Structure 1
């Protein structure tokens, strides 16, 4: 077993993905072995929100779940979707989301994305739950909608924007989630340069498993499936670019995650 250096919390892992069906127990054990104390499982539609909730019930001391509909699935959002998400939220989901706008892929119409995002912001406000936000190339619309709708606390999941957008989110007191994107020497250079701007009280780390495998892993893994045990590489890079110790990053990000998601 690896030496546990600290307690870490992965605030965003898609453990309902079919790639984890056969070895989820082992995935969780590997994460525990490197110090990942808790994992927040992301809900992205009715089905995955239900699965995330079931996983949180199955592993109550280790997994927590969000409930929401990702912008990719906004075209499929119905009254039943809202009822389902609301039920899971009332039963113990720790945040509403993943929700937001994605104008990069546009798998759903922009009008539907905005409608569904607004509905979930209103739900979060009504239930006083934090919001797990997706923003990809929304050209400032996510921020505008957050400003227009009364919400509770917000984390911008998997932030990949520029300095101006980061500063705008920070000005609105948002938390910022950093993934393995920061470990990518090709497309993550700008992100790495601005991570030091994030206030200590708003910094969170995540893997977005099974996506965004950190490119700093050595030796390079044979699989392309990312998993929560690789959170240590995100923490390592974040500590490097912020000129802070890894133990300090562990301490602040874990405290922030516990506060944001109200984890025991």
Structure 2
């Protein structure tokens, strides 16, 4: 079987496992070949099917996320290592970085805080934008902190990014110019795709029966963490634009709701 035929066959096998069967098949084939997806597409007619590709497709067909199979995920300008101990970074979360760039247009944050850092995606993406900034990532999971610290070291940011165990902003005395957070916001009653429910950490997904528990913790903390002129950018679920925002407005904070590229509510932009 040619590589092109193997790719078509893999996409057919993945139809029931993913909404992006062709893309997933391409990523897995490129990974098996040890080359970039772009290079693979250009050379597809000349490539042989690598050993192990069928097994990779089998893992994806069984519901294992592509990022766990390849061990990496692209986010913003970075390629990050990911494991089952952290949430796989999503393109929707890039909405927070876009909002931060708009807020600091003509300036730059000096100190950045990432609450619920996970893989370090948000903090490291921000530090890649603002090369003179330093940042702190907080997470309650030691395993997640190990992933984030390793990502910072591999990307040459270990001297600018510190990661520490903590419970949201509890105990932090410092104030920050930019606060980023992608907290859990899914209801415990929600139905999730198999690859998310069985392969990603529930601690990073679920936040009580209404999905708002993490925001209830964060709302009274933010005013004491934001520096003058600073902004906090928090990811939300598409249906939480009002319910989540109201929790922060009740703390006398100024809140605007930003949408992602799909025109869905995705980010709370919060100022004192």
TM-score normalised per structure 1: 0.33
Higher helix share: 1
Task: Answer 1 or 2: higher relative contact order, Cα 8 Å, separation at least 6.
Answer: 1
TM-score (norm 2): 0.32
Bigger Rg, structure 1 or 2: 2
